[in-house]
């Protein structure tokens, strides 16, 4: 906004006399159309203090003065006659020298200046002078010139850019045109339009696209640059270059193709050698696994034979027991039926009781023997400590997809278990490892809930003595807090139990653990006594 006028061209300055103390006193006499004609008139109409025409005339110490020339704190009464005479005097506009032809009574002069077209006002847009005494201040113009100034010369007026149609201040138009993306500029290569004169004009923003796609003088690399042709040719000459150097391009491409073929052959040979070594390793591993499986089958056959013999022995003892029971029943019947010889009956009864005691002892011994056979049988079919060596391939893809990975089932004693890995578990960036108790064929013979101690180990391929491992065990608190994890399974498997943050994804991908995008995880489980 324009600042308030405070200089020597204020309305008061133009019609009143301004004293040294900065106050405005009587009317300016030089503005009168008809000058005061006599000394008497001057004495009646002029203030004895400021020598201007009386303004609110009053008497003070026998002389006429303006009301504003009386010292402060003194009461005074206006002289109405003088005030009316002064108000009716005709004066010209103080801006007559600038061209204003207005004239009227003194009383209307101040109101005229509010509307005078020659009165200086500040630019409504607030533009400043760039030179002269007013340099750096808001520009002043006659009121009548403001519309023309705002339309034609004010540096802060808004203009419409003819190229991008955006509104820009006049003082900023030249810098805008230097950056305007729609301003036409000559092609940097000075290309011309066929059939026209002069350099082709392109919008500033379209220059990169013009050089990349259209300009016939833009130099481009030969399409056979990658094969060794190091020529840069103007776009319009490219077809001619390709035709003239076709035989050279052919030799370069054939040389490059042969080189790539040799590199491909070497790469394929390396892959073939690696695959051959891998196949040999797998065959050796399969052979060792086959021998191990054969041993297990032989042990199973021997265990089955022992089980058959134990079953037959149990059947024999049961038959013998049954026959002894029949004999005892017969003896008791004979005792009841025979009443002739009580002494003989007592002896027979004592013998029968002795035989019964012997038979019961034999049965107890056979039951103990059967129990020992079962324990031997169970000890041959499983081990008290279970260990799973689990090789996991495609580790990077599994971590990226955050998918769960399950192992094959394995036995700990007669308990059936299964391992599970959840990549990027609840703790962000961590790997979770869990153990499931699965439904097995011996669950009715086992003690529940199960207690065990587990150890998780990631093998270090570089230093086998520096594997990454943690150990934990199922305590009484865990049994009470997570009973569904350790009870006898009713579904295919129970709820899992393990660790949420075994190792971070970043650590597991280190070379010492991850080899050929694979890791080896050992899960060791040791059964603990029931609580």
Architecture of the CATH domain 11-122? 2-Layer Sandwich (3.30)
Specify the pLDDT at position 4. Answer: 35
Specify the pLDDT at position 158. Answer: 86
Structure tokens at 259: 């080189």
390 forms bridges with which residues in the sheet? 521
Is it the case that residue 139 has pLDDT exceeding 60?
A: yes
pLDDT band at residue 371 under the 50/70/90 scheme: low
E runs forming strands in 167-276 = 167-169, 184-186, 201-203, 219-221, 232-234
Q: What is 385-527's CATH number, 2.60.210.10, 3.30.930.10, 1.10.10.10, 2.40.50.140?
A: 2.60.210.10
> Is the model more confident about 505 or about 424?
505
pLDDT band at residue 140 under the 50/70/90 scheme: confident
- Verdict on whether the full-model pTM lies above 0.85: no
pLDDT band at residue 376 under the 50/70/90 scheme: very low
pLDDT band at residue 3 under the 50/70/90 scheme: very low
The per-residue pLDDT of the chain, averaged, comes to 82
Residues 6+ apart with CB under 8 A from 55: 16, 25, 26, 27, 47, 66, 67, 68, 86
Using the structure block, give the residue that is written with the tokens 């900065």.
22
184 forms bridges with which residues in the sheet? 203
Give the tens place of pLDDT for each residue, 212-229: 888 888 888 888 888 888
Measured over the CA atoms of residue 370, residue 374, residue 380 and residue 385, the dihedral's sign is: negative
Look at 118-122, 202-206, 233-237, 381-385 and tell me which has the smallest mean pLDDT: 381-385
Specify the pLDDT at position 384. Answer: 46
CA distance 321 to 363: 8
Give the tens place of pLDDT for each residue, 438-489: 998 888 888 999 999 999 999 998 988 899 999 999 999 999 999 999 999 9
pLDDT band at residue 7 under the 50/70/90 scheme: very low
Is it the case that residue 499 has pLDDT exceeding 80?
A: yes
Structure tokens at 425: 């578990």
Cβ neighbours, 10 Å, residue 384: 11
Give the tens place of pLDDT for each residue, 318-369: 888 788 778 778 777 776 666 666 677 677 777 877 888 888 787 777 666 6
Residues 6+ apart with CB under 8 A from 93: 100, 101, 102, 103, 109, 112, 113, 116, 118
Specify the pLDDT at position 131. Answer: 67
CA distance 260 to 123: 77
Specify the pLDDT at position 111. Answer: 86
Give the tens place of pLDDT for each residue, 383-414: 445 889 999 999 999 988 888 899 999 999 88
E runs forming strands in 201-264 = 201-203, 219-221, 232-234
**Domain extents in the chain:** 11-122, 262-381, 385-527
Strands 120-122 and 140-142: antiparallel
**Closest of 15, 31, 27, 91 to residue 54, by C-alpha:** 27
Same fold, 11-122 and 385-527: no
Specify the pLDDT at position 419. Answer: 92
Cβ neighbours, 10 Å, residue 52: 23
Specify the pLDDT at position 483. Answer: 93
Measured over the CA atoms of residue 92, residue 96, residue 99 and residue 100, the dihedral's sign is: negative
Specify the pLDDT at position 339. Answer: 60
Quickly list DSSP for 443-486.
GGGS-SS--EEEEEEE--SS-TTS-EEEEEE--HHHHHH-HHHH
In the chain, DSSP finds a helix count (H) and a strand count (E) of 14, 23
Range among 150-164, 250-264, 346-360, 481-495 rated most confident: 481-495
Specify the pLDDT at position 8. Answer: 45
Specify the pLDDT at position 5. Answer: 38
Which string of b and e fits 216-230 if b means at least 16 CB within 10 Å?
A: ebbebebebeebebe
User: Do residues 1 and 118 touch, judged by C-beta distance below 8 A?
Assistant: no
User: Do residues 71 and 35 touch, judged by C-beta distance below 8 A?
Assistant: no
Specify the pLDDT at position 417. Answer: 93
Q: What is the mean predicted confidence (pLDDT) over 284-294?
A: 86
């Amino acid at each position: 906004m324009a600042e308030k006028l405070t200089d020597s061209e204020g309305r008061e300055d133009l019609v009143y006399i301004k004293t040294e103390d900065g106050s405005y006193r009587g009317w300016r006499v030089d503005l009168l159309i008809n000058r005061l004609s006599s000394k008497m008139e001057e004495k009646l109409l002029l203030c004895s203090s400021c020598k201007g025409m009386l303004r609110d005339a009053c008497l003070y110490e026998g002389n006429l003065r303006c009301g504003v020339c009386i010292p402060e704190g003194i009461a005074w009464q206006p002289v109405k006659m003088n005030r009316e005479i002064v108000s009716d005097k005709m004066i010209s506009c103080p801006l007559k020298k600038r061209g204003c032809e207005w004239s009227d009574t003194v009383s209307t002069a101040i109101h005229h200046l509010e509307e005078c077209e020659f009165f200086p006002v500040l630019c409504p847009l607030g533009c400043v002078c760039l030179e002269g005494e007013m340099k750096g201040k808001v520009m002043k113009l006659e009121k009548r010139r403001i519309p023309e100034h705002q339309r034609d010369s004010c540096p802060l007026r808004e203009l419409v850019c003819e190229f991008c149609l955006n509104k820009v201040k006049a003082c900023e138009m030249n810098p805008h045109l230097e950056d305007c993306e729609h301003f036409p500029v000559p092609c940097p290569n000075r290309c011309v339009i066929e059939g026209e004169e002069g350099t082709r004009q392109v919008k500033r923003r379209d220059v990169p696209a013009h050089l990349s796609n259209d300009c016939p003088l833009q130099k481009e690399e030969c399409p056979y640059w990658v094969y060794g042709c190091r020529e840069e040719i103007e776009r319009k000459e490219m077809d001619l270059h390709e035709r003239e150097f076709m035989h050279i391009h052919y030799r370069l491409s054939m040389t490059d193709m042969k080189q790539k073929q040799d590199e491909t052959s070497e790469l394929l040979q390396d892959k073939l050698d690696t695959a051959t070594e891998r196949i040999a390793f797998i065959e050796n591993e399969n052979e060792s696994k086959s021998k191990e499986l054969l041993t297990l089958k032989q042990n199973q056959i021997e265990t089955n034979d022992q089980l058959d013999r134990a079953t037959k022995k149990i059947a024999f003892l049961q038959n013998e027991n049954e026959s002894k029971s029949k004999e005892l029943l017969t003896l008791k019947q004979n005792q009841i039926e025979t009443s002739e010889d009580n002494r003989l009956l007592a002896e027979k009864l004592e013998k029968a009781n002795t035989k019964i005691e012997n038979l019961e002892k034999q049965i107890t011994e056979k039951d103990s023997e059967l129990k020992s056979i079962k324990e031997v049988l169970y000890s041959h079919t499983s081990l008290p400590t279970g260990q799973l060596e689990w090789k996991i391939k495609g580790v990077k893809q599994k971590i990226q997809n955050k998918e769960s990975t399950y192992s094959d089932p394995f036995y700990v004693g007669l308990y059936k278990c299964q391992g599970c890995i959840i990549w990027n578990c609840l703790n962000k960036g961590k790997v979770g490892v869990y153990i499931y108790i699965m439904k097995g064929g011996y669950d009715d013979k086992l003690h529940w809930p199960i207690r065990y101690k587990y150890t998780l180990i990631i093998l270090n391929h570089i230093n086998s003595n520096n594997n990454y491992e943690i150990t934990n065990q199922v305590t009484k608190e865990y049994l009470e807090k997570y009973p569904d994890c350790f009870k006898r399974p009713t579904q295919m498997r129970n709820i899992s139990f393990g660790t949420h943050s075994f190792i971070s994804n970043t650590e597991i991908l280190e070379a010492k653990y991850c080899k050929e995008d694979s890791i080896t995880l050992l899960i060791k489980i040791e059964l603990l006594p029931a609580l």
